[in-house]
Amino acid sequence: MDTSKQILRGVRRRRWPIGDKQRIVQETLEPGASVGRIAQRYAVNANLIFKWRKEYREGRLGNASARLLPVRVARDPVWEATKAEGLASRSPMGRLEIQLAKGNLQITGAVDLIALRTAIECLA
């Protein structure tokens, strides 16, 4: 008789409320945080936390802000969106790099706003 099935039948799985999952995931997203240490602190397998992080990024943990992307602000001049159409040829050359889950987007030079939006929507 296989006893492993009998042992597994008696084991109860721990249920984590969504709020606890969100809090644990947010702790792992802090700079310098270690998923392994946080997993030990809460007595959770690190792989489960990585699964929760993926769900969090996809917005499946009830977090409305999961679609936000990290932004780094530069001290370069900013053009208002209403003026951007006429300034494409006069705007300074620059480089834009966006890192998304499905791939990276790098643009050098003047940016067509419609093409940029389309590319981001395809990669998001």
Render 55-89 in DSSP notation, one character per residue: HHHTTTTS-GGGG-------SS----HHHHTTTTT
Q: Give the per-residue pLDDT at 97.
A: 78
Q: Which residue range forms the structural domain that includes residue 87? A: 81-123
Residues 9 and 60 in one domain: yes
109 part of a folded domain: yes
> Looking at the DSSP assignment, which residues form a beta bridge with residue 97?
106
Q: Give the per-residue pLDDT at 44.
A: 94
pLDDT in tens, 39-83: 999 999 999 999 999 998 888 887 655 456 677 777 776 655 555
pTM higher than 0.75 for the full model? no
Portion of the chain with pLDDT greater than 90, in percent: 31
Confidence of residue 7 (pLDDT cuts 50, 70, 90): low
Residues 24 and 53 in one domain: yes
102 part of a folded domain: yes
Confidence of residue 8 (pLDDT cuts 50, 70, 90): low
Q: Give the per-residue pLDDT at 40.
A: 96
**DSSP E strand stretches across the chain:** 95-100, 103-108
Higher-pLDDT residue of 36 and 73 is 36
26 part of a folded domain: yes
Residues 54 and 20 in one domain: yes
Number of domains in the chain: 2
Residues 118 and 86 in one domain: yes
